[in-house]
Structure formats: C-alpha cells, structure tokens
Amino acid sequence: MWAECSLHLMQVKAQDLVQRLESGLLPIYLISGDETLLVEEACDAVVAAARRNGFSERSIHYVETGFRWHDLSHDAASLSLFAQKKVLDVRVPVKKFDREAGAALREWCERVAADVHTETLLLLRTGRLEPGQRKSAWFKALEKIGSVTLIWPMSPDQLPRWLAARARLLNLSFEPGTLQYLSDRVEGNLLSAAQELDKLALLNLPQPVDFNGLVATLEDTSRYTTFDLLDAMMGGECARVVKILDVLRCDGVALFAILGVLVSQLRRLGVAYGAPPARQKLLQQFAKRIKSPGKVLAECAVIDQQGKGQLLGDPWVSLETLLLRLAGAKQMPLPSEAQAWLG
C-alpha cells in the first residue's frame, strides 16, 4: 500500500513535499526544523494527504517525562471501531532523540520492512536536528524506508521570494521593491509575515499594492515595530526615536531583537538597490551620516554584553544614546562603561 521509496527520494525539500505526497504515501515522515510555521504546514500536508488516503484516525503523542516509545506499537494496534488506518503524530524535542528513541525507531523501521504496521503512518515532528543525529543509525534507517524533510532557516535574501510566492497564493500582487519593506519589517519571523499577508488579502486593496499603501495598512493594523524605530533614526527624528523605543520596551520587545535589526541594517549600509524610491532616499541619507560603521557595530557589541550582564551599565540607556547619536543628535557621548570597553 506504500509508495516505493528509492534512494533519491530519501530527503524531500519542503517545497516539493506536497507533490511527492500526491504520488503516494510512505510509512514514516520526519519533519525537522526551527521554522515553526513551515514545520507545521509540512506536517499539515502529510496529515491531509493521509486523510485523503483513508487514514481517518489520528493520535497525538508528546515525548516528555513518562513517555515510552514502545507504547506507540500498542497505539498502532488499537484502532477504533470505525477506523481502519491511523496516523501517529509524535512531537519530539530534539534532545529526546536519545538511545531509547533510536532503538525504538530502528525497530519500527524493521517492522515496516516486514509488513507490520501497514495500517499506521508515523509522523515525527521536531526541531533542527544536530549533525550527529543526522548521521545516527536510526536516522539512516528511517531515510531508507520513509521521507525526511529538513527545513533550514530562511536567509534575508530568500524571504522576499517566499513572500512573493505566498502572496500569489492569496491573489496578491505588489509593486517592485515593496515586499522588501515587508521582509525587513517582519525581521525573519515567517509567522508574522504570513499573518500580515493574510490581513492584506482580507482588505481587498487595489492591485498591485504600492509602497505607500502597504505602509499605511501596516500602521493601521499594528503598533510600533523595530522597523519604525530604525526609520525614525535614519530620518533624524530624535523625539520619535525616544518615543518608539519607550513603547517597544513597555510592550516587552526584547533588547536583542532591536539590536539585531540595527546590526542587520548597519551591515547593509549603503545598499538601497531594490528598495522603493522613498526608502532609497532615507537609506542614502543615513549612509552619508555614518562615518564609521565598524565603530558603531562595536558599540552594538558592547550593548549586547551589557544586556547579557557581562559588562556594567544599563543596556537600554546605552541603546537610546547610540540611536540618538545615529539620528544626528549632538553631544551624545557613549556611557562611561562603553567608552572603557572600546578603549
């Protein structure tokens, strides 16, 4: 009843998984990665395909204290009165792939090869596996008989393309460069990005969505973001910098999240290609104002150390001081602790 699994099918990319599922099911699926949204959607695709193929029952197991791997075999054998096939959906923390797990999974693969568990599909979902785990005996055994999808973190260059593809599924189109703004705004958070696109789809905006329309819509549906803070800083709006930073801090936005966006912008200093015209001007003005990006990055490292308790000083005060100086405020010296660290 299972699809044939050949060596070149052992690992399946997330974007190819749906197509492979349409070609037939395999007895085991492992979905691994730290991109929660992509992992969830890949697992949903497996469950949906199984349901279409008669797997009408699903039981969910959380591998935590008290869980016994061998109980999965008992669950597989205990179908309800009206179900003939079952999906075992097992959520596994990466650290729980221990010796017991490895032995149980190898045994499960052996049973599948011997035509046992023919009415049970095993779905394993977990975080990003370590290189040693991907070389283990249980992983290799699973690859030979099932499907492995490893979902890697998305790079900043990939995110606009991912947004564009997702937007097309929602019948949304954008003017050139506009999606780069949304990409920068969500700061790599795919769940947040997907939610923003869903909101835009519901608003029935004129197509293609332009930069000003996107900005206005996002401002109407959310409070300040770290990207608003950077825009105020680059635009030289010192009072707005203080206000937005205060709001972000009160809203519980992590210091390190703000620092990360700032560092990312500094590393791309002077790169305005592909940005909407209004934003290109802002980026170019900011780049002219920053004489020594390397020194600013070093100051960011100091604030990072303060935030981790490894250096004296209030990291929020240091961050505000730095942002105001980058915004063009005069006579904003570094805190004494940072001056001492930088020499």
pLDDT for position 336: 47
Q: Which of 71, 4, 64, 14 is nearest to 44 (CA)?
A: 14
* CATH number of the domain enclosing 102: 3.40.50.300
Q: Are residues 82 and 11 in the same domain?
A: yes
Q: Kindly state whether residues 217 and 229 are assigned to the same domain.
A: no
Instruction: State the CATH number of the domain containing residue 327.
Output: 1.20.272
Check whether residue 121 and residue 194 sit in a common domain. no
Q: Which helix (H) or strand (E) holds 324?
A: helix 315-326
Question: What pLDDT was estimated at residue 6?
Answer: 45
Q: 234 and 190, same structural domain?
A: no
Domain-embedded: residue 36: yes
pLDDT tens digit string along 275-329? Answer: 556 666 777 778 778 877 888 888 999 998 888 888 888 899 999 999 998 988 8
The residue from 151, 185, 200 where one domain ends is 151
Same domain? 186 vs 299: no
Assess if residue 258 is contained within a domain. yes
Instruction: Write out the residue range of the structural domain in which residue 250 sits.
Output: 223-343
34: left (phi over 0), alpha (psi -120 to 50) or beta: alpha
Per DSSP, what are the bridge partners of residue 126? 32, 92
∠ CA 178-183-185, rounded to 5°:
100
Domain boundary (105, 136, 151) is at 151
On whether residue 1 sits in a domain, the answer given is no
Paired tokens of 263? 């560092």
Please check whether residues 35 and 144 belong to one and the same domain: yes
* 218, 239: one domain: no
CA dihedral 173, 175, 178, 182 (to 10 degrees): -10
What CATH number is associated with residue 203? 1.10.8.60
pLDDT value for 284 = 76
| Within-domain flag for 288 | yes
Same domain membership, residue 25 and residue 128: yes
The pLDDT of residue 164? 93
> 137 and 11, same structural domain?
yes
Below-50 pLDDT ranges, the chain = 6-9, 272-273, 335-343
How high is the pLDDT of residue 294?
Answer: 82
CA-CA-CA-CA torsion sign (145, 146, 152, 157): positive
216 and 297 assigned to the same domain: no
The residue from 195, 222, 249 where one domain ends is 222
Q: Note the pLDDT of residue 221.
A: 53
**DSSP class of 275:** S
2 lies in some domain = no
- CA atoms within a 13 Å half-sphere pointing along the CA-CB vector of 200: 31
Same domain, 65 and 134: yes
Residues 235 and 218 in one domain: no
Domain total in the chain: 3
